[in-house]
Structure 1
Amino acid sequence: MSSASPVPSGRTTPLRGRPWLDGAALQRARLAVVPRVRVRASRFPFVTLVSLILLAGVVGLLCFNTSMQQAAFTESRLSQQATDLAARQQTLEMELEELRAPQHLAAQAQKQGLVIATTVAMLDVETGKVRGQAAPATADATPPLRPRVRKPVFR
């Protein structure tokens, strides 16, 4: 650069290759180290936030554990109820089978006065003739019934 560069108006001498800065402006423009002001942030909001998060977690775990225990008790009660109902159903099915048994039906029929026929007569539908000898049934001809032995029910 040439030292004969034009000087802006109001300045008299160029400084260090910068003709537009004079001495007073240069003193104002210099950077100086400013001591750092230590401002301590309060720890109270952070500690409060962490405490609230921990408290919410503990309360949430407590509620979750309580609901799981309640569900376990309900499951246990319903399982016991299902076992009891299954046993009752099995008992009722066994009683129904006993009532449907031929020995039971024969005993009930005999109590009502029914007897077993010893002779059978058959009607031929095409010809209209009776085959065999029909005879009235008597109580003496009915064989004795053997009572059914009940099996013990294990519960």
Structure 2
Amino acid sequence: MSALWAPVAPGQLGTGELETGERRTGADRRTGRLRAVRTPAGRLPRAPFLLVLIGVFGLGMAGLLMLNTTLQNQAFASRTLDRQATELAYTQADLENQIDVVSAVPELARRASELGMRANPYPALLVVPSGKVIGPAAPVEGDELKSLIVYTPAEIAANKAEAKAKAAAKAAAKKAKAKADAIEAKAKALQAAKKAKVEAAKAKAAAAAKAKAEAAAKKKVATAKKAATNDKTTSTKKKATTSTAAGHG
């Protein structure tokens, strides 16, 4: 140990304490005697303090980074959930609109018509749960109240197709009938022409027969006239001969 001596004036330390922390006695205060002080304690090395400070700073930065990352992830998740909530709200509104449309009276009438149900102008009431029927139950044909029938697009298309098919069938039948009439008229014309040809042939044959008969009659008449002329000539000759014979006699 090294001893350091320094004069200390009375009252210099204020409370009478030395730098070493010892309390001075009354005699020392009076005489102003010097005493040896202890060697001051050595300072702590700076490297561990810096390492601890760097570690604390690194841990703080890592914690801050993790906190920032966690907050960003939570913000992304929150935005995603908000977007999903908005989409679900729109989906819910769309479904509610669809429910309103489906539950509307015209839509119910259309669905009933699609299922083959028709309005009954003579309804009967069924009492539940007894099952008693009030009023006369009468079946319907389906066309009693045509104004209340709501046709679906498929039924409208089917009705149009059926009407088109009927019109096409009617036009085809009309065309076939016209063709049959034309064929029949042609057959009748051919038959009439054939009949006319036969009649013309008959008329020609009759005319030829008539001409032949007339020619035969004319020939017969001519023959008769010739025979008569011959007879007359013979008679004249006979008379002449008789007269001549009488004159000679």
TM-score by length of 2: 0.37
Paired residues, number? 113
Take 1:105 and 1:71, find their aligned partners in 2: how far apart are those partners?
47
Take 2:145 and 2:87, find their aligned partners in 1: how far apart are those partners?
47
User: Larger Rg: 1 or 2?
Assistant: 2
Amino acid corresponding to residue 104 of structure 1 in structure 2: E
| 1:77 aligned partner | 80
Amino acid corresponding to residue 51 of structure 2 in structure 1: T
1:136: Cα distance to partner?
A: 4.1
Would you say the 8 A contact 2:109–2:150 is kept in 1? Answer: no
* 1:62 counterpart (60, 65, 79): 65
Take 1:65 and 1:144, find their aligned partners in 2: how far apart are those partners?
68
Would you say the 8 A contact 1:117–1:137 is kept in 2? Answer: no
Between Structure 1 and Structure 2, the one with more helix by share is 2
TM-score by length of 1: 0.56
Take 2:44 and 2:113, find their aligned partners in 1: how far apart are those partners?
103
C-alpha change, 1:52 and 1:113, in structure 2 (3 Å) is: closer
Take 1:109 and 1:68, find their aligned partners in 2: how far apart are those partners?
56
Name stretches of at least 5 consecutive residues in structure 2 with no aligned partner.
Answer: 1-32, 127-131, 152-249
1:40: Cα distance to partner?
A: 4.0
Would you say the 8 A contact 2:119–2:145 is kept in 1? Answer: yes
| 2:54 aligned partner | 51
User: Identical aligned pairs, as a percentage?
Assistant: 29
| 2:175 aligned partner | none
1:63: Cα distance to partner?
A: 0.7
| 2:94 aligned partner | 91
1:58: Cα distance to partner?
A: 1.1
- After superposition, residues 106-125 of structure 1 pair within 5 angstroms as 106-120=109-123
Would you say the 8 A contact 2:113–2:149 is kept in 1? Answer: no
Take 1:73 and 1:139, find their aligned partners in 2: how far apart are those partners?
63
1:139: Cα distance to partner?
A: 1.1
C-alpha change, 1:73 and 1:64, in structure 2 (3 Å) is: same
Instruction: Choose between structure 1 and 2 for higher RCO, CA contacts under 8 A separated by at least 6 residues.
Output: 1
| 2:145 aligned partner | 141
1:107: Cα distance to partner?
A: 1.2
Would you say the 8 A contact 1:116–1:137 is kept in 2? Answer: no
1:144: Cα distance to partner?
A: 4.2
1:41: Cα distance to partner?
A: 3.2
| 2:108 aligned partner | 105
Would you say the 8 A contact 2:119–2:149 is kept in 1? Answer: no
Amino acid corresponding to residue 65 of structure 1 in structure 2: N
1:85: Cα distance to partner?
A: 1.3
Take 2:142 and 2:101, find their aligned partners in 1: how far apart are those partners?
27
